[in-house]
Structure 1
């Protein structure tokens, strides 16, 4: 079974027409989980877990709620073990926005239409890793591919603005990256 993204959540002709008018407009991302340092350094991702699960506390929370061991979330498990644990969690999450977001990400970033299941996770993992390696996917490549015009990073009020400044001075990068106030640790 495949994931049909074309008209996802569009339940009328009017909705489809409105979406088609705006679908190519740039994205204004006011809540980005990439750190400004990651954006500036633009290091290619090493594997599917790093790009898809690394730092995503929403996915981690769902895994914890599913009873997944912390070792398989933020611990020392292998990337394959972590991905398998995520696939098993995701299979139980139909109806949760993360289920739909994750499959939209698979389609948009990796061109994968298949649903992730406990039976096909390894194939999906390998296909994602192949794309990461072939395209040398990095934060800036993903930002450019998604047509992101503005990013608001989620920052502690005590964070240095060093990386934001470096990004602002980089004339080769067109996306505006600004800090946003996230006082979780303050």
Structure 2
């Protein structure tokens, strides 16, 4: 019986472990669809705490929080602290057992934070908050630093056809940053006629 999540998570036999660790794991990442913010990459954002990097824009986590009956103020509220939202997530995660979010949460703690021996929940939330915030205070855990740790070579950000490409140009012009950040086509808003700005979208 192995622990919940080791370096061999989901690798059930020797062939799988060899293929992953020897060949797949060292390969660089080319992510053609991500939800990273081009502005945060351009500005090399430094996150103040784990709540910011985890919960500010993750709609999958938001959906789980709403399904668990968490008040919207603890999900997207402007008057609620990052720590309060984080604790709402800590109380929700144990309820996601059986959902990929449970595994994703622990994989996110494993890489890049190096937390491998603790299940996340209300009882462990404070110590994990402290450990992760200490790392987020270092340059290696800025927006660009994390991408470099993960051996990213290219990402395609999710962009509306009328989004400005100013941040993509800023990144491309920065010779100190070797990761390509390209816009990708996502015209979802063009089909949402209920949006206030629909007339601007349709010309």
Q: TM-score, normalized by length of structure 2?
A: 0.86
Where does residue 164 of structure 2 map in the other structure?
A: 160
Following superposition, the deviation at residue 135 of structure 1 comes to 4.5
Following superposition, the deviation at residue 31 of structure 1 comes to 2.1
Q: Does 1:171 align with 2:175?
A: yes
**1:14-93 matched pairs, under 5 angstroms:** 14-20=15-21, 21-75=23-77, 76-93=79-96
Could you tell me how far apart the structure 2 residues matched to 1:136 and 1:77 are? 28
Where does residue 99 of structure 1 map in the other structure?
A: 102
Max Rg structure? 2
State whether residues 3 and 103 of structure 1, in contact with CA within 8 Å, keep that contact through their aligned partners in structure 2: no
Could you tell me how far apart the structure 2 residues matched to 1:101 and 1:48 are? 15
Where does residue 111 of structure 1 map in the other structure?
A: 114
Per-residue deviation, residues 13-40 of structure 1 (Å, max 9, x unmatched): 1111110122011011122222111100
Q: Could you tell me which of 103, 123, 129 is aligned with 1:125?
A: 129
Which runs of 4 or more aligned residues in structure 1 lie more than 4 Å from their structure 2 counterparts after TM superposition?
none
Could you tell me how far apart the structure 2 residues matched to 1:67 and 1:31 are? 30
Per-residue deviation, residues 109-166 of structure 1 (Å, max 9, x unmatched): 1111211012111111111111112456211001000001110101111101111111
Could you tell me how far apart the structure 1 residues matched to 2:140 and 2:56 are? 17
Look up the SS of the partner of 1:179 in the other structure: strand
Following superposition, the deviation at residue 5 of structure 1 comes to 3.0
Q: TM-score, normalized by length of structure 1?
A: 0.94
Residues matched between the structures, number? 186
Per-residue deviation, residues 33-68 of structure 1 (Å, max 9, x unmatched): 221111000121111111111211111111111111
User: Structure 1, unaligned stretches of length 5 or more?
Assistant: none
Could you say if the C-alpha distance between residues 146 and 136 of structure 1 is closer, same or farther in structure 2, counting changes exceeding 3 Å? closer
State whether residues 5 and 107 of structure 1, in contact with CA within 8 Å, keep that contact through their aligned partners in structure 2: no
Following superposition, the deviation at residue 97 of structure 1 comes to 1.1
The RMSD of aligned alpha carbons is 1.6
User: Structure 2, unaligned stretches of length 5 or more?
Assistant: 191-203
Where does residue 5 of structure 2 map in the other structure?
A: 4
State whether residues 140 and 149 of structure 2, in contact with CA within 8 Å, keep that contact through their aligned partners in structure 1: no
Per-residue deviation, residues 83-106 of structure 1 (Å, max 9, x unmatched): 111111111111211111111110
Look up the SS of the partner of 1:180 in the other structure: strand
